[in-house]
Amino acid sequence: MAGKIQKYEGKNIVVYFEGSRCIHAARCVSGLPNVFKPNVPGPWVEPDAADVDELAALITTCPSGALHFKRKDNGVDETKPAINNIHRCRWAARYQWRLDNGYATRFFYAGYLMPLRRIEK
């Protein structure tokens, strides 16, 4: 569903996912595995499986901005950054993203996607 924004509605929060922006850093999956369940049939995001404040805090750490949220419980909504600080460059089989606090690099080797590697400034 690249290019489309997917909506996952919970009792107190709505989570939005834009697959075309995702860089697969896996902060969501590793941070709240009960909420974010990739490669499962049906919806892969279950917003009610975690505390709404904890989920909102995790979504704000998404390095690509593929995840967004809107609170339904009068909590503080997500604020958008004034400047988009992610840049995508391609060199042969290497992708690199420049983030606010360093670089994230992902390599492709013999057809396999290698883990995301973070390089500090």
Is there a domain that residue 76 lies in?
no
Same domain, residue pair 24 and 59: yes
Whole-Å CA distances, 74 to 11, 12, 35, 70 = 12, 9, 21, 10
**Residue 35, domain CATH:** 3.30.70.20
**7-27: pLDDT as tens digits:** 999 999 999 999 888 888 888
pTM of the predicted model as reported, rounded to 2 decimal places: 0.66
Whole-Å CA distances, 1 to 6, 14, 17 = 8, 18, 10
Same domain, residue pair 103 and 56: no
Same domain, residue pair 15 and 56: yes
Give the number of other Cβ atoms within 10 Å of residue 87's Cβ.
10
**54-84: pLDDT as tens digits:** 999 999 888 888 899 999 998 888 876 665 5
Number of domains into which the chain is organized: 2
Same domain, residue pair 20 and 59: yes
CA–CA distance, 65 with 67 (Å, rounded to integer): 5
Q: Note down the domain range covering 11.
A: 5-71
Q: Which amino acid is at 119?
A: I
